Amino acid sequence: AQKVTQAQTEISVVEKEDVTLDCVYETRDTTYYLFWYKQPPSGELVFLIRRNSFDEQNEISGRYSWNFQKSTSSFNFTITASQVVDSAVYFCALSGTNTGNQFYFGTGTSLTVIP
């Protein structure tokens, strides 16, 4: 079964604080992709990152960083020095090679950054 769990429904932080969004996944595929998408209040889902299951290197892009650990089936997302513009709903998603191109989304984490 393919499943993505985002246990944190809502998070509030004060501006400039760091925040980590958790994502845990289940898959039987040996090759799969993991994704993070951002959905700001405007509603459009914006792609942030894709990670191949064979690449466990952590990645940093500006204030964003991602920690992929196959041993715990987790793909966590950290925002450093959060800003008000980071306020959005963030979705983690999974796509496995054995399920064609079907994407499985978590229920999302709503992040509010308080100025």
Instruction: Tell me which residues touch other proteins (CB under 8 A).
Output: 4, 33, 35, 37, 42-47, 50, 91, 93, 95, 100-103, 105-108
Closest distance between other proteins and the C-beta of residue 43, in Å?
A: 5
Q: For other proteins, give the closer residue by CB, 76 or 95.
A: 95
- Distance from C-alpha of 17 to C-alpha of 114, rounded to nearest angstrom: 10
Q: For other proteins, give the closer residue by CB, 42 or 57.
A: 42
Q: Which residues are within 8 A (CB) of 28 and not within 5 positions of it... i.e. 6 or more apart?
A: 1, 2, 96, 98
Q: For other proteins, give the closer residue by CB, 92 or 113.
A: 92
Question: Cβ-count burial of 23 within 10 angstroms (0-12 exposed, 13-18 middle, 19+ buried)?
Answer: buried
Closest distance between other proteins and the C-beta of residue 13, in Å?
A: 20
Name 52's bridge partners: 33
Phi then psi dihedrals of residue 86, to 5 deg: -80, -10
Closest distance between other proteins and the C-beta of residue 16, in Å?
A: 28
Closest distance between other proteins and the C-beta of residue 93, in Å?
A: 8
